[in-house]
A and B are shown apart, each in its own frame.
Chain A
Amino acid sequence: MRVIAVVLAIVFFVLGILYGTGTINYFTESGAAHSHHVKHLVVMWVLALLCLIWARFQSAPRR
């Protein structure tokens, strides 16, 4: 589970960068290429962060 969470975090992080640089434009307002989709970048990075937190829960020592 921990590995899946980390892989997902990396995927979301990279997707965020691709949205931010305008390399991909799926589900965006204009659908226009090469524009910066800040909203999508932030959402992807928040998801990446949540995946990292999930990974943290998997790796912490149990009491």
Chain B
Amino acid sequence: MNNSIIEVEHLVKKFGDLVAVDDINFHVEKGEAFGFLGPNGAGKTTTISILCTLLKPTSGTVTLNGFNVQRQAHQARRSLGLVFQDPSLDIRLTALQNLKFHAHIYGIPRRVCNSRIEDVLKMVQLWDRRNDDVKNFSGGMRRRLEIARGLLHYPQVLFLDEPTLGLDPQTRFHIWDYVLELKHRENITIFLTTHYMDEANIADRIAIIDNGKIVALDTPQALKNMVGGDIITLKTDDNHTAREEIITLFGIEAKQDRDGISFETANGEEFIPKLTHDLNTNVISIGLRRPTLDDVFLKVTGHEMREENGGEAVDKRIWTMRQAGGRAGRFH
């Protein structure tokens, strides 16, 4: 309790008849990376806006670094850094001028101002472009600059609302690497929202949010354990018959979709030879994978996380890259 930096009690936010946030409760510990995972429109941004004093809750209380965000908004603001989902730079000024504005308005001591600006700009690889107008920056560069700005005043809590949306995998990787390093070095609490699965994996704990409610909250590993073992996907000549065979032979609840059949089982590696031996239907392919947060989401909400699959390919690529780089352990 004493160690909580964010405390949310019975938070409700209504927009007219629409209940965007529906009675949610959670605590975030100091120094923790806390992830909000959910589809677009689930209430992630609304919650973050309330936590950041930008929006007033309909009811409930939010405490940030010991300050009530409604009654002590001013003190709460000093403790937080924010990287918005929508751009919030002055595009008619240079990168340097944007950061100087931020440094002044956050009261960063003048003697550390320039060195910190240099640090963050080098981190996001924009130091060479510091005197260019932001209006000439690409989307990715603008985003990187915003992240640099959010870190400039070394906040107690750094809010990242879909911070890597629309960035290339390399930049995303680089940014998360730095955020985690900063968290480690300065003991900054990270509060992130995302709908990229691999990004949610960097969190120490994840709250899965759907339709304004928190449907699950735990460490990524514990959440994945909820799924109950490995996931086996199967393609056969006759998926319908094969599914019935699996149910009768092994007593496993298998699901059939247009790609084939999928089911969960413990010790998947040992199960596959048994399956191919016993099954009468001709098997075309078998796949085995560990449960992902996508599976967790499906399990707790009963529906897929996203309808469009745009981010999926990127997710897989960055994942492979990380494992190749030997960093998988750290991100898991």
* A and B physically associate: no
Residues of A within 8 A of B (CB): none
Residues of B within 8 A of A (CB): none
